């Protein structure tokens, strides 16, 4: 009897994985949305609605919640689940909702995957564990991701973010993991165009590679990426989505021109100023940024002025003082 129950569980799991593999499409631009906090550092869901009212006007493929820009490290699991539920309510029907689920242990990652899928996530973005990175081998990471992929109720997306983790996922590891049907793709935020090209070339056909920064969105698309998870899309959802559609229509000169205008603001927001810079930039364009949770602190007046000048220099006119 126990053997029969185990067999039924395996069959159900296999069907779930095949369903997941066939239904997830990552093509397009997905902003990794920041988590709005009020002055007490509590999540402000009313302000989240204000931001979605702006984002929903543009042709974004979906949203990434609880990523690096969402200050995932400062959120409890209950808060993460509440954010997923609220985003599902606010986003346009048919949009993809990807939720960050990476934790420092395999067990915690699996528990987070299950909770966020229950809350409404379509796919899970899994950052590699990094606290013990000097003692975690490539083989250990392979076992970690394979365990998560086998048990996750929805597809997972590998997340390479060496600026935050201090570890650059090897192409060899991505290529091996790409063979699992419940690993749908990878978000590579290294900013290395050569690495993007190498990953696209190394993985199986149909494995979806996403550029993790707006600075190389167009080069990434030309090299075979299917889209991008771009922080700048929070601030400039229209132009960032337009860049993707220009590429798809074959107007590569216009796409390249727009890409050149985006590089400066994107680099300032993401690499130099981080999440406080992203939130400040959103406020320049009429959305809600608000405070971060400590230890992240707001930008100085000088940095805010530098931010405004960079957008203006590239032809993007802020609407707020």
Strand, coil or helix: what is 271? helix
Max Cα-Cα span within the chain: 71
DSSP 204-263: PTTPEEEESSGGGHHHHHHHT--EEE-THHHH-HHHHHHHHHHHHHT-HHHHHHHHHHHH
Beta bridge partners of 208: 185
Length of the chain: 321
Bin 28: left if φ > 0, else alpha if -120 < ψ < 50, else beta: left
d(CA 129, CA 136): 9
Comparing CA positions, the residue from 277, 279, 236, 276 lying closest to residue 259 is 236
Give the pair of three-digit tokens for residue 262. Answer: 């985006």
CA dihedral sign, ordered 101, 104, 109, 112: negative
Give the pair of three-digit tokens for residue 199. Answer: 């990953």
| Residues belonging to the active site | 159, 187
The verdict on whether residue 229 carries a ligand-binding annotation is yes
Comparing CA positions, the residue from 219, 287, 214, 201 lying closest to residue 256 is 219
d(CA 248, CA 274): 30
d(CA 314, CA 58): 21
- Feature table: binding site: 229
- Feature table: binding site for pyruvate: 229
């Amino acid at each position: 009897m126990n053997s029969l129950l185990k067999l039924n569980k395996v069959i159900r799991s296999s069907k779930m994985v095949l369903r997941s593999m066939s239904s997830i499409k990552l093509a397009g631009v997905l902003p990794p949305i920041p988590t709005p906090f009020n002055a007490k550092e509590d999540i402000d869901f009313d302000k989240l609605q204000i931001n979605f009212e702006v984002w929903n006007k543009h042709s974004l493929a979906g949203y990434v919640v609880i990523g690096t820009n969402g200050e995932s490290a400062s959120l409890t699991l209950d808060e993460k689940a509440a954010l997923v539920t609220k985003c599902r309510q606010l986003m346009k029907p048919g949009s993809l909702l990807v939720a960050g689920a990476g934790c420092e242990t395999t067990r915690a990652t699996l528990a987070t995957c299950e909770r966020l899928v229950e809350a409404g996530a379509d796919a899970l973005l899994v950052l590699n564990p990094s606290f013990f990175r000097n003692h975690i081998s490539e083989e250990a990471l392979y076992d970690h991701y394979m365990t998560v992929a086998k048990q996750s109720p929805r597809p997972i997306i590998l997340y390479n973010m060496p600026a935050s983790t201090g570890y650059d996922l090897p192409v060899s590891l991505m290529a091996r993991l790409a063979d699992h049907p419940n690993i749908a793709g990878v978000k590579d935020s290294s900013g290395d165009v050569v690495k993007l090209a190498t990953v696209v070339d190394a993985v199986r056909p149909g494995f979806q590679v996403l550029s993790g920064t707006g600075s190389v969105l167009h080069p990434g698309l030309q090299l075979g990426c299917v889209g991008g998870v771009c922080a700048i899309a929070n601030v400039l959802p229209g132009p960032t989505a337009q860049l993707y559609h220009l590429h798809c229509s074959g107007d590569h000169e216009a796409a390249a021109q727009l890409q050149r205008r985006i590089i400066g603001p994107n680099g300032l927001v993401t690499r130099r100023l981080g999440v406080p810079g992203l939130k400040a930039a959103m406020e320049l364009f009429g959305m809600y940024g608000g405070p971060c949770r400590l230890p992240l602190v707001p930008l100085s007046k000088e940095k805010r002025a530098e931010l405004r000048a960079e957008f203006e220099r590239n032809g993007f006119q802020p609407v707020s003082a």
